[in-house]
């Protein structure tokens, strides 16, 4: 299966358990890996034979910048679900959500949730 990567998309959201996270918000980074057959798009140079990544970006933006989630696990789950629902040519999707500045008194390079969801077989 071929893969389409959308790396390090940046959004501003209000996700977190603590009230200050919901009030102040912060930047989040999202990476997607979409598994789908890209052979026809490659042969024909036809945008309708692939996934328009500008549209995928807008979908993810609406999710991240819309409703506030307590957990980035829930945020990632909703991104995966909506991508699979919206783009039927995608067989599976890996979503990686990075929260670079969690509100802890520990110095490290953020918190990351990564999950992979596959299309249910009919």
Please list the active-site residues: 99
- The closest of 99, 45, 52 to 72, measured between CA atoms, is 99
The C-alpha atoms of residue 5 and residue 102 are separated, in whole angstroms, by 25
Structure tokens at 46: 């036809």
The single-letter DSSP state of residue 42 is: H
The CB-side HSE value for 51 (13 A sphere, CA atoms) comes to: 28
The residues near 18 (Cβ < 8 Å, ≥ 6 apart) are: 103
The single-letter DSSP state of residue 3 is: E
Phi and psi, residue 7, nearest 5° = -105, 140
């Amino acid at each position: 299966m071929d893969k389409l990567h959308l790396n390090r998309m940046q959004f501003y959201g209000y996700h977190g358990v603590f009230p200050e996270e919901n009030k102040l918000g912060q930047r989040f980074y999202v990476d997607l890996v979409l598994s789908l057959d890209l052979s026809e798009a490659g042969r024909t140079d036809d945008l309708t034979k692939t996934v328009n990544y500008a549209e995928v970006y807008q979908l993810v933006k609406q999710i991240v910048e819309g409703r506030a989630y307590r957990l980035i696990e829930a945020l990632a789950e909703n991104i995966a679900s909506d991508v699979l629902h919206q783009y039927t040519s995608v067989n599976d999707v890996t979503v990686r959500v990075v929260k670079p500045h969690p509100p802890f008194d520990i110095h490290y390079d953020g918190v990351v949730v990564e999950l992979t969801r596959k299309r249910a077989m009919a």
